[in-house]
């Protein structure tokens, strides 16, 4: 009985030991399975490793993911990694393209890098594995991510270099207005304002007034006087940082100079427009009056307060029509249509008309397009010019009427031998009207016509020579017989300006029947 009890205890103990051993083995296998499925990397370490399928990231170590998170590049993991590797490993992309043929590539960072790195790229089952190795892994503290620290230090160094080389002033201000930090450009400007032998002290000197800065106004422009040389202008832009502000001073000398030149140019134009005798009205693309000069007030009869309200083009023309400063049309509908056509023609630069006003004045109106759809109308009073033209035309008509009333034929030639005037008697005598082709009939053409309609005579060759002669000349005359037998007394007289007057008169019947008369006379003095 005692033997059976001992045997039972032994069996129970063996069963317990077997169960405990099985549980331990099962736990070890589960732990190993979890470790194997935690990452696709076969070897674990503290270095940064990336696994790519083409340019698609499959897996990465924590150090690698931390490195990607520091990149300022927006894009895929491959783009961010390439942006990090390219400046540190020259030729990385070219070597990487040949990875399929080589199988494995090892690269070392440039000598200019602050801390050296090694890059290993290899193909594993169609996947690309990129590993960044630190040669000083053994010497760094356990658990420290030196690669991430290096990336942060490099970024900090780049930011410091960028700020120090920035051609604009950057500084920080506390809530009290004290300058707590400034870049090299600001410090250089502040140093120029110090007395000889004086150094910069804390807090840093303030260069600009704080009124607008305290109000948070962006884009305020302030002038910074220099101990020597001209002053400089800066546009100030600020951003709140807690209780203080981050300030930027952008150079604005070019903008100030351009604005000054533009202002001077506009003043010159304004003075020029003010003294122009031509009325000027400029309308914008919405056809509202934007600019006018004093002459427009006198020519349009409109009041300054009305023009200052910036009326539209049609309101402007309607107001001129109410003051009888526009030719009165037959009806208002025709008037509106005419004004619409005026706008279209002026917009294309084709509008130019003469307005005869009921008051007797005459205006020349010109429409010209301006950039951005603007429109300019110019009004010029040409009443005096038109009156002078009408008077001159009347004088010409009167003179022509007097000449036409004479019974002898007249023909006037200019210094160059071109016919400029003839009368009715000449037309009836020679059977043609040269007035219809004035400016085209020369002495040679008319002499040829005279030869055709008269008996052969050397007088016409002498006429050509006489009219073509320059300098002092004397009047002379001669006779010619027409084809119908009538005898002409011809006389050629030099007049003012080198012109020549030719007169033709039919001889008296008794003289025409005398057998002793020759067909022409020799040149004789007056």
**Cα distance between residue 361 and residue 471, in whole Å:** 46
Give residue 490's pLDDT: 92
Give residue 493's pLDDT: 92
Extents of the domains making up the chain: 48-156, 166-255, 276-386, 406-513
**Is the distance from CB of 168 to CB of 90 less than 8 angstroms?**
no
Tokens 């016919």 sit at which residue? 419
The CATH class that applies to domain 276-386 reads alpha beta
- Number of C-beta neighbours around residue 447 at 10 A: 18
Q: Sign of the CA dihedral 286, 288, 294, 298?
A: positive
**Cα distance between residue 481 and residue 487, in whole Å:** 4
The values of phi and psi at residue 289, to 5°, are -65, 130
Question: Regarding predicted confidence, which is higher, 186 or 482?
Answer: 482
Mean pLDDT, residues 174-178 taken together: 76
Res 104 pLDDT > 60: yes
Res 368 pLDDT > 60: yes
Give residue 514's pLDDT: 47
**Is the distance from CB of 421 to CB of 412 less than 8 angstroms?**
yes
Mean pLDDT of the chain: 76
Q: In what order do the strands lie in the sheet with 375-381?
A: 289-292, 279-283, 375-381, 362-369, 351-356
- Is 166-255 in CATH node 3.40.50.720? no
Q: Which residues contact 357 (CB under 8 A, 6 or more apart)?
A: 324, 325, 326, 327, 363
Give residue 519's pLDDT: 39
**Is the distance from CB of 295 to CB of 276 less than 8 angstroms?**
yes
For the chain, give the percent of residues with pLDDT over 70: 72
- Number of C-beta neighbours around residue 29 at 10 A: 10
* CATH of segment(s) 48-156: 3.30.450
Domains 276-386 and 406-513 belong to one CATH topology: yes
> Residue 466: left if φ>0, alpha if ψ -120 to 50, beta else—which one?
alpha
**Cα distance between residue 113 and residue 89, in whole Å:** 10
Stretch among 137-151, 275-289, 325-339, 512-526 having the lowest mean pLDDT: 512-526
- Homologous superfamily (CATH) for 406-513: PAS domain (3.30.450.20)
**Cα distance between residue 339 and residue 287, in whole Å:** 13
Q: Which residues contact 266 (CB under 8 A, 6 or more apart)?
A: none
Give residue 298's pLDDT: 86
Res 171 pLDDT > 80: no
């Amino acid at each position: 009985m005692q033997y059976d009890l001992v045997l039972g205890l032994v069996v129970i103990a063996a069963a317990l030991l077997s169960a405990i051993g099985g549980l331990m083995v099962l736990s070890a296998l589960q732990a190993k399975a979890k470790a194997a499925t935690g990452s696709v990397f076969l070897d674990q370490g503290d270095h940064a490793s990336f696994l790519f399928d083409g340019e698609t990231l499959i897996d990465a170590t924590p150090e690698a993911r931390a490195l990607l998170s520091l990149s300022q590049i927006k894009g895929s993991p491959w783009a961010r990694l390439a942006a990090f590797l390219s400046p540190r490993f020259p030729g990385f992309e070219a070597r990487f393209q040949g990875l399929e043929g080589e199988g494995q590539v090892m690269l070392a960072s440039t000598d200019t890098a602050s801390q050296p790195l090694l890059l290993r790229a290899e193909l594993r089952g169609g996947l690309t594995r990129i590993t960044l190795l630190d040669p000083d892994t053994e010497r760094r503290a356990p658990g420290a991510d030196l690669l991430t620290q290096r990336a942060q230090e490099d970024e900090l160094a780049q930011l410091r270099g960028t700020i120090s080389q920035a051609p604009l002033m950057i500084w920080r201000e506390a809530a009290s207005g004290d300058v707590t930090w400034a870049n090299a450009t600001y410090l250089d400007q502040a140093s120029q304002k110090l007395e000889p032998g004086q150094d910069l002290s804390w807090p840093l000197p303030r260069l600009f007034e704080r009124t607008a800065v305290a109000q948070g106004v962006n884009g305020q422009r302030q002038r910074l006087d220099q101990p020597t040389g001209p002053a400089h202008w800066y546009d100030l832009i600020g951003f709140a940082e807690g209780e203080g502000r981050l300030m930027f001073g952008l150079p604005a000398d070019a903008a100030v100079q351009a604005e000054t030149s533009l202002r001077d140019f506009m003043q010159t134009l304004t003075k020029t427009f003010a003294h122009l005798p031509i009325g000027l009205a400029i309308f914008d693309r919405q056809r509202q009056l934007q600019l006018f000069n004093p002459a427009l007030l006198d020519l349009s009869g409109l009041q300054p307060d009305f023009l200052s309200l910036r009326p539209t083009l049609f309101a402007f023309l309607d107001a001129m029509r109410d003051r009888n400063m526009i030719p009165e049309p037959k009806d208002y509908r025709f008037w509106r249509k005419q004004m619409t056509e005026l706008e279209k023609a002026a917009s294309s630069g084709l509008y130019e008309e003469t307005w005869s006003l009921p008051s007797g004045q005459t205006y020349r109106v010109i429409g010209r397009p301006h950039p951005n759809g603007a429109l300019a109308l110019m009004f010029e009073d040409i009443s005096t010019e038109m009156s002078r033209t009408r008077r001159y035309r009347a004088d010409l008509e009167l003179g022509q009427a007097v000449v036409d009333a004479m019974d002898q034929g007249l023909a006037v030639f200019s210094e160059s031998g071109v016919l400029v005037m003839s009368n009715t008697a000449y037309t009836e005598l020679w059977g043609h009207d040269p007035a219809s082709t004035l400016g085209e009939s020369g002495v040679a053409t008319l002499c040829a016509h005279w030869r055709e309609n008269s008996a052969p005579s050397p007088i016409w060759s002498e006429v050509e020579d006489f009219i073509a002669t320059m300098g002092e000349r004397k009047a002379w005359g001669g006779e010619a017989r027409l084809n119908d037998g009538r005898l002409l007394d011809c006389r050629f007289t030099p007049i003012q300006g080198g012109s020549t007057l030719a007169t033709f008169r039919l001889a008296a019947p008794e003289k025409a029947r005398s057998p002793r008369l020759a067909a022409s006379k020799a040149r004789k003095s007056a």
